[in-house]
Structure formats: structure tokens, C-alpha cells
Amino acid sequence: MTKPSGQVPALPPFPGLTGGLIRADQNSAAGGIAGQLRVHGQVRNDGEVMRYDDAMPNGFHVIALDADPDRYLDEAARKVLARIGAQTIGVTHDESRVVAGRVLLDTSGKYEAFFNEHGAKALIVRPDSYVFGAVGSLTELSGLVRMLGAGLALQAANGIGQERLESAQA
């Protein structure tokens, strides 16, 4: 008879989304980032360490690694983000890149690890904390935002999810 070790087995991975408002070519069912839950970690903003969720209001988020994503958005992408009330924010492990309220310090190291694991420089997170999609270069960010805008327009045209989108942003 063996004695219990006291160790609990690891939980299985949280199921990701495989359809709906995600970047189809990055589907989590095929090992991509789209449809996965975003990372949840600690950040420092203006000297205070807090959960990312407490630092940023609910809604769509564009998150860039080691950069302020606003610097990489064209006018069309800015209009999409303004229309949906999205937040843009950077996270970094490098204190010299921190900008209060714009680029937060990744005190947990979870953001850098998540981005690096997926080869991402920026991603878009939906209000329900699932990743819409990511880009490997910040020069591709405006295209990803326009892709989100097109997906939202298609859903609106089909009458899909508007109530859920509005309630998730509240």
C-alpha cells in the first residue's frame, strides 16, 4: 500500500474558444493564441502593484509588449478602437520603458512569458478575457485591429452577440 504524497495533480488546461469572434488562422484548437484566456498577472502602475484587472477598466484591450501600442496604430485602427471603447496599454519587464498609465511594469513576469511563448508583440483581448488574436510585429497591429472591426461589423450585421458585447463592456 502506498502512502499519499500530498501532491495534487495539475489541472487540465482551461478550454479555449474555437469559433466566434477570434482570429481564425490563430485558432486555439490548432495550438494558436486566439481563443485562449489572456494571462492574469501583477503589474505596477504609477508606483502601485496591483492585478492587471484592477489597473485597467473592463472592455476590449490592445496590449503590447515593451511598447505603447498607440504609437503603431493608423487612423482607421484608432477609429475602430474608439468606436468600441477599447483600451490600449503596454506591459514591460524593463523599468526604463515604464510610462505611468501607458506602459505598466510586469512585476509577475507572466506577461513577458505569455507573449514570448506565442511569439507575440501585441494582442487584442476581448471583454470576456479571451484573446481575439495577436501579431508578431507591431507594424501589423493596425491590420489586426481592422480585422477585429470587420468581425464585429459582421456580427452586428447578423444580429449576433450585440447584447453580450454591450453587457460585457458595462
> Could you tell me the domains of the chain?
24-165 (3.40.30.10)
Cell numbers at 105, concatenated = 511594469
Burial 41-54 (b: 16+ CB within 10 A, else e): bbbbbeeeeeebee
- The answer to whether 112 and 65 have CB atoms below 8 angstroms apart is yes
Higher pLDDT, 155 or 30: 155
**122-138: pLDDT as tens digits:** 999 999 999 999 999 99
- What is the CB neighbour count within 10 angstroms for residue 106? 26
Query: How high is the pLDDT of residue 18?
Result: 81
- What is the distance, to the nearest Å, from the Cα of residue 94 to the centroid of all Cα atoms in its chain? 20
Residue with grid cell 484608432, as numbered in its chain: 78
Task: Name the band, by pLDDT with cuts 50, 70 and 90, for residue 116.
Answer: very high
Give the predicted TM-score (pTM) of the model: 0.84
